[in-house]
Amino acid sequence: MIILSYIKTITRFRKELKKQQDYIRTFLNPYLGELERKYSGKFEDEQLKKIRQYYGLFIPTILCSSYKNLYHENYTEAERKRATLFGILTPVGDDLFDIDKLDVAAINAITYRPESYDAKTFSAHIAREIQSFMLTDVPHRNEYLDAAKDVFEVQLETIKQTDPAIDDKELTRITYAKGGYSVIIYHQIMAKPASKEMWQVLFYVGSLMQFGNDLFDMAKDLRDGITTLPDRCTDYKKLKEIFLDRVKECNRLIYALPYKQHKKEEFAVAMHLIISRSMVVIDKMIQLEQQLGKPLNYATLTRKQLVCDMEKPKNMMRWLYYSYKLPKLT
C-alpha cells in the first residue's frame, strides 16, 4: 500500500538526513576548508549554500540512498563519500563554463585526464582534484565516464537556450537530457551501475526534476535571457496534462523494474517527493491565467507572481497532497 510506503520513506529520509548532516559536519566542511587553503581561494556564499544545503545534503539523502533502498542494499561509507564529493563537483563544474569560460578542450581534459590538466583557477583546481579521486575510486569507471560525457555534452548544448528562437522540440530534448543525465551520473558513482531498465527510469525521473527546476527558476531565467519550457507555455492546464502524462510513464517504468513491489513503491514515493513540488507551481500559474487571461505576458509579471514560496502552509499542504497522489498514477 502506498500509505505504508509513504510513511516508511518519510521515516527513512529523516534518519538519512541526520546521517548526512553529521557527515557534512565531520567530513565535508573540513574538506571545503582544506580546499580553500590548498588552492588559495574561496567558495562563494551561494556556492557553499548549494553544496551544503542541496547537492551535498539532499541529493545523497534522497537520490543515492533511495537507489540502495530499492536494491535492498546498505548505503556504504564509500558511496556516501563519492556522492558528497560529487555534490561539490556539480556547482563547481557550472563555474568552469559560466565564470572561468574554459573551452571544450579544457573541460574535456578535466573530465578524462584530470591528473595531467594544468589548472589555473580555483574552480579548475577543485574539479581536477575531485574528478581525479572519482576516476580512481568509482567501481565502474567506464559507466561513470559515459555518464560524465553525457552531462558534459548536454551542458554545451544549453547555450542554445540563450536563443529566444530555439525550436520547441530542441528545447524539450535539451531540458529532458540535462535533467536525465544529471540524475543518472549520481547512480553511476554507486557500487553497481544502472541496468538498462533503471537507466530509463532515471532519465524520466531527471527530466521531470529538470522541468521542475525550470518552473521554480522562471524569474531568474527570464531575467538572464534563458529560454525554458515554462516561459514558452501558453496554457498551463495543457502543460499540467503533459507533465502528468510523463509522470504516469515514469511510474510505469518504475513498477516494471524487477524488484519487490513495496521497494518500488518506496522508490516512487521518494522520487515524487521532489517531482511533486512542480505541481504546486503549475497550479499557481493556472490561477494566474484565470486572473490575467492566457497566454500570460511574462514581461509584465512581477517576481512575486513568478516565484512560488514553498514555505507557505498552503503550498506545503499542496506539495504533501501531490507527493502522495503522484506515485499512484499509472
Please report the pLDDT score of residue 155 as a whole number.
Answer: 87
Please report the pLDDT score of residue 224 as a whole number.
Answer: 87
Please give the backbone phi and psi of residue 192, each rounded to the nearest 5 degrees, phi first: -135, 145
Cell readout for 204 is: 524520466
Cell readout for 134 is: 572519482
Please report the pLDDT score of residue 97 as a whole number.
Answer: 77
- CA 274 to mean position of chain CA atoms: 9
| Of 158, 56, 43, nearest in space to 97 by CA | 158
Three-state SS string over 35-78 comes to: HHHHCCCCCCHHHHHHHHHHHCCHHHHHHHHHHHHHHCCCCCHH
Please report the pLDDT score of residue 102 as a whole number.
Answer: 84
- Domain borders along the chain are 1-137, 162-330
Inter-residue contact 74 to 19 (CB < 8 Å): no
How far is it between the farthest Cα atoms of the chain?
58
Please report the pLDDT score of residue 21 as a whole number.
Answer: 97
| Of 54, 55, 326, 50, nearest in space to 205 by CA | 326
* DSSP secondary structure code for residue 121 in this structure: S
Q: What is the pTM of this model?
A: 0.93
Please report the pLDDT score of residue 95 as a whole number.
Answer: 80
* pLDDT means over runs of 10, the chain (330 residues): 91 96 97 97 90 91 96 97 94 80 89 93 95 97 96 90 94 96 96 97 97 92 92 95 97 98 97 96 96 93 92 94 95
